[in-house]
């Protein structure tokens, strides 16, 4: 994990949103926005990838509502609201367009931004996402904790420890976890037509033992114009962003 070049909090939609930057701003390249997974932090999701991604790019990595350093609020946690927060943060930073990599919950947020604010997105990498709840495997929608697709006890402990280390109110973890679960299980409101209208070059990424049916990602691949699809072998949902084989795919796609 690289040390951030800077970190700060800014007032966004009534909350103090934490974000960190890595690397140096460049006039010849768009910034890269990293959006972490649910119940995770920037470091937990992107620790393996950040040193390479920030070597020649300016990276902006916020922590979403209630995650990591960003305090929770009384507001329900929804994908549209989280996307609005990220767009508002970019407005505060004077960033008109960026490339996006989002994992899981962060991937849903990145997809929402691409659908609702296409002018803000240069290139898009939604990792481990679906566009409807039908994309989930049954053992994920009705959790079967014996399934290899679901986080292990060690994964849950890692998320708990990461939250406790930096959260303003670590004693609220169970309430926070419940809000994240509700957001992840809420109906996803995109249509096939929404995906057909995406204009950003898109790389879809999934593990072969992920939360979602590979066939569902193949459908997204067909719907999104000129999309690319990468299925990582021997990879669960929680392992996806730690696979070093992902780095050459990302660096080539992002250019």
Q: Which of 163, 161, 144 is nearest to 72 (CA)?
A: 163
- How many residues in total does the chain contain? 255
pLDDT in tens, 110-148: 999 999 999 999 999 999 999 999 999 999 888 887 899
Q: Which of 65, 101, 104, 103 is nearest to 82 (CA)?
A: 65
Return the residue matching tokens 């419940």.
178
Q: Which of 42, 29, 184, 15 is nearest to 104 (CA)?
A: 184
Is it the case that residue 88 has pLDDT exceeding 70? yes
The whole-number pLDDT of residue 185 equals 85
Q: Which of 136, 89, 71, 150 is nearest to 108 (CA)?
A: 136
pLDDT in tens, 142-187: 888 789 999 999 999 999 999 999 999 999 999 999 999 888 889 9
Instruction: Give the Cα separation of 226 and 38 in Å (integer).
Output: 28
Question: Which residues is 121 bridged to in the sheet?
Answer: 98
Q: CA separation (Å) from 139 to 145, 146, 150?
A: 8, 9, 8
| Helical (H) or strand (E) element with 201 | none
pLDDT in tens, 66-83: 999 999 999 999 999 999
Instruction: Give the Cα separation of 98 and 100 in Å (integer).
Output: 6
Residue 57 — very low, low, confident or very high, per pLDDT cuts 50/70/90?
very high
Q: Which of 107, 93, 117 is nearest to 202 (CA)?
A: 107
Q: Which of 154, 81, 129, 123 is nearest to 227 (CA)?
A: 123
The whole-number pLDDT of residue 143 equals 80
Contact 41, 68 (CB under 8 A): yes
Which percentage of the chain shows pLDDT scores above 70? 100
Is it the case that residue 22 has pLDDT exceeding 90? yes
The whole-number pLDDT of residue 237 equals 97
Is it the case that residue 1 has pLDDT exceeding 70? no
Q: Which of 42, 74, 75, 76 is nearest to 163 (CA)?
A: 42
The whole-number pLDDT of residue 145 equals 79
The whole-number pLDDT of residue 239 equals 97
Pairwise pLDDT comparison (255 vs 35), residue with the higher score: 35
Instruction: Give the Cα separation of 34 and 59 in Å (integer).
Output: 7
The whole-number pLDDT of residue 189 equals 84
What is the chain's mean pLDDT, rounded?
95
The whole-number pLDDT of residue 17 equals 98
């Amino acid at each position: 994990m690289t040390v951030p070049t800077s970190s700060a909090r800014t007032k966004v939609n009534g909350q103090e949103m934490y974000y960190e930057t890595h690397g140096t701003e460049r006039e010849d390249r768009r910034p890269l926005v990293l959006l972490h997974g649910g119940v995770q932090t920037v470091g937990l999701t992107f620790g393996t990838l950040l040193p390479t991604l920030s070597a020649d790019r300016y990276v902006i990595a916020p922590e979403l509502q209630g995650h990591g350093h960003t305090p929770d609020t009384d507001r329900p946690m929804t994908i549209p609201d989280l996307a609005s927060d990220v767009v508002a943060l970019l407005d505060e930073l004077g960033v008109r367009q960026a490339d996006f990599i989002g994992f899981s919950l962060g991937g849903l947020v990145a997809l929402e931004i691409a659908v609702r604010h296409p002018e803000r997105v240069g290139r898009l990498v939604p990792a481990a996402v679906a566009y409807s709840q039908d994309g989930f495997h049954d053992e994920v929608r009705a959790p079967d904790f014996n399934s290899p697709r679901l986080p292990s006890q060690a994964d849950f402990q890692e998320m708990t420890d990461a939250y406790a280390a930096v959260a303003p109110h670590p004693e609220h973890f169970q309430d926070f976890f419940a809000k994240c679960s509700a957001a992840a299980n809420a109906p996803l409101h995109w249509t096939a037509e929404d995906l057909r209208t995406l204009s950003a070059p898109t790389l879809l990424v999934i593990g072969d033992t992920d939360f979602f049916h590979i066939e569902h990602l193949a459908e997204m691949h067909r719907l999104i114009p000129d999309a690319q699809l990468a299925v990582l072998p021997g990879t669960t949902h929680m392992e996806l962003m730690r696979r070093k084989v992902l780095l050459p795919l990302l660096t080539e796609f992002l250019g």
